[in-house]
Amino acid sequence: MTEVILHHYENSPFGQAMRLALGLKGINWKSVQQPDICPKPELSALTGGYERIPVLQIGSDIYCDTSVIVDALETLKPEPSLYPEPLGFAGRIIATWSGGLWFMPAVGVALGTNPDIVSDAFWEDRAKRFGMDRQKFLPMVPHLTAQFEAGAALVRDALADGRRYISGDSPGHADLMLYMNMRFVGFAGRKPSEFGPKLTAWYDRIDGIGYGSFEEWTGERAIDYALGTSPSASCTVDEDHGFEHGDAVSVRTESPDPAAVSGILIGLNDRQISIKREDEKVGEVHVHFPRLGQILSPA
């Protein structure tokens, strides 16, 4: 069986959500700890320059961003689904909200309450890649705190009917992404109990999922593993998207992050962008991105 490798770091909220996803699905995986600031040369060798966390590696298929990671895990092991009924795939919308609109308020609480909890190098990195200039960001913390609390109240009220999970009777993608923000603000001493017993019980249930069975690997070992495998994920370029199979393209995120990944387009649809690239360290890899939130351009 092809090895499943998660590139992450301990305090990454998105990394936390994907560790729980692997645990929920019961997938054995390899853990590669990456730095929390750039540069990340071993990760860049695999991705072509994308250095956000987490990144999932399945052989020499490289998945950048939690959206395509979740899709890859669903394909790899459909059950238990990360989109259980009755909410189903509608859970993706909640997960996207939590990782988008509600995430920066959580950052404001987690880091802004005690800005010295992270290094100056960390602030410099986030200013360059996410626009989080420390001098401009810190005055926004009171507003961000209010926004976080308003979001947490929505979660609390959604659980008020007694459901065990946002998704219904079983946990799913939505739960994991909401949980990551609630956990993240714990760095500032905020506790789920502030939002009532039902949210606290829900939080504890998600926390109890755990990460499953995993083994620590080095980045070098992950690179060597990619070099010894071939990409296997199915890719096609749908019509009416403005690009054709074989086009030279570039992909970058909708953010100040200047990093762009270039390669040959091999897959494009409403959910995913896939490009083929070669690196002397890793050989041929297929790098996959979500369509939502990425800028696809001719190279």
How high is the pLDDT of residue 53? Answer: 98
Is the pLDDT at 258 greater than 90, yes or no?
no
Mean per-residue pLDDT for 252-271? 95
65-74 pLDDT, tens digit per residue, is 999 999 999 9
Using the structure block, give the residue that is written with the tokens 């980045």. Answer: 219
Distance from the first to the final alpha carbon of the chain: 35
Which of 142-151, 202-211, 253-262 bottoms out in mean pLDDT, i.e. has the lowest?
253-262
66 within 8 A of 55, measured Cβ to Cβ: no
The burial class, CB within 10 Å (0-12 / 13-18 / 19+), for 10 is exposed
**pTM to 2 decimals?**
0.97
Is the pLDDT at 224 greater than 90, yes or no?
yes
146-192 pLDDT, tens digit per residue, is 999 999 999 999 999 999 999 999 999 999 999 999 999 999 999 99
125 within 8 A of 164, measured Cβ to Cβ: no
Query: What is the set of domains in the chain, with CATH numbers?
Result: 88-207 (1.20.1050.10)
80-128 pLDDT, tens digit per residue, is 999 999 999 999 999 999 999 999 999 999 999 889 999 999 999 999 9
